[in-house]
Amino acid sequence: MEKQAEMDFGMLGFSDLKQLFAKYNVNQLFIKYLSENDNSKNQVYLGGNLDAANMFPLRNITVHKGTSKKPNANKKGKGSIIKGTLVFHWLSDNGEIHHAPHSQIILYPQYKEARFSGFLKDCSHAPRDLMAPRIPGRIMILGVSDKYGVVGYVTTAKTNLAKDIKSIGLTKQSGVFYKLALKKSKVITNTQAELLKDLRRLHKAQWINAERMLADRTIVKYESNNSGGYTLECFFNIPSNSVSAPDYLGWELKQFKVNNLDKPGKKAITLMDLGPSGEGSYYKKHGQKAFMMKYGKANTKGIKDRLDFTGSHYYGIQNNTGLTLTLLGFDPVNSKITDINKGVALIDSKGAVAAMWDYSQIFQRWNKKHANAAYIPSTFRKTTCKQHKYSALISLGSGTDPIMFLKAIVNGHVYFDPGINMKNISTPNSKVHYRGPFRIPYTELKHLYKEYKTIRLD
């Protein structure tokens, strides 16, 4: 039975494969022509950078000691690697999917390289006859699904599927992959052009009632402060959910509120908001309240019994809090992580670490920032109901990874902008309200992407 299952791979044409992928909610395809070294022994090479951390939805990102046999290679975290669990299923020709429970993507920060491994282990219906040996001319298709993680299929060079893929006319390559999007029954080779067409339709709609599409696709009136994003998603027929997959055709849609649609200016864009979890810091050792008692300042607006920790913290510049934002275990000249066990940190004048976001935490959160993103300014008005209007001036960014985020911190584009307070500090009922966003001005977004441009839709 297992041998027969192995032989099931490679019999489909592209139209068949497309229908099966649609069955499993796949909306993006990543196509890679495999080299002979792309096999279960050597792992599948995903690129000479860390783009894979944003292409595929990873879980449980953890740091592991490196296995290099070179002298001193693994001391002090220098050779450490990052592993991210990938929910991965093999698709067979009969339309069934088979979970490969040990699938993972391994990131090698010191080499800026990513590899795919564990995709055969404990999966009885995996294509061992195609993925274990060294075979030239194979093609791997990875489909990203908001429900099943990643669904994979592999074929050889002389199949109908290989011929169909060649006839599609794939031209634009991103790293080692060719990318396609599936929109209903339509294959989209140029997702940017399709996105721009729909964003132009959004702009021309002018004022749109504030709405939200629920998970069951019911549309409801929604007028909260964050209604601009939900209204945009509703327009694109995207239901609300907590899934971190890209919103539309492999693009993340990022709406942000401005006063003037034609002049977004230096509007601050929040990239991530997370609490520091790095081991060894004062924050981690002693907790939020102790951190606030040591580093917080008395409220300056007359609110008694309250401490605040606020202010824009930039790399290498001491803030009024007495702390300086820095990157520990990172080589800013060569843009390399030298100690994966360290991270983005706030240090005091003596070099003591007050708080730290370790690199695995940064990688985990940055994985939710997708390789392609569209930034759309919006404004609102309140008549009989709240309404939103979206700008004709939009920006598109393609290709990002966590190292680009770290470089943007070093170069002063990304900053830490906390708004933390502790109320009732003299009582047993004191409480900390944490808000810790990392932000970047709209005008500096270009530093986070390999390709970035601003376009007028009208």
pLDDT digits (tens, 9 = 90+) for 242-251: 555 557 888 9
Has residue 112 got a pLDDT over 90? Answer: no
% of the chain exceeding 90 in pLDDT: 67
Who's near 287: CB < 8 A, 6+ residues apart? none
Has residue 241 got a pLDDT over 70? Answer: no
Give pLDDT, residue 249: 87
Q: In DSSP terms, which residues pair with 378 in a beta bridge?
A: 257, 390
Q: From CA 121, how far away is CA 283, in angstroms rounded? A: 40
Query: Which domains can be identified in the chain, with CATH numbers?
Result: 2-188 (2.40.330), 268-370+392-456 (3.30.70.3570)
Q: What is the chain's mean pLDDT, rounded?
A: 89
| Confidence tier at 395 by pLDDT (50, 70, 90) | very high
**Residue among 254, 286, 456, 264 nearest 368 (CA):** 254
The residue with greater pLDDT, 318 or 361, is: 318
Q: At what angle do helices 402-410 and 359-366 cross, to 10 degrees?
A: 120
Has residue 186 got a pLDDT over 70? Answer: yes
- DSSP class of residue 166 equals H
Who's near 321: CB < 8 A, 6+ residues apart? 295, 297, 309, 310, 311, 313
Q: From CA 232, how far away is CA 211, in angstroms rounded? A: 9
Give pLDDT, residue 78: 56
| Confidence tier at 20 by pLDDT (50, 70, 90) | very high
Q: From CA 50, how far away is CA 59, in angstroms rounded? A: 16
Averaged pLDDT for residues 171-199: 87
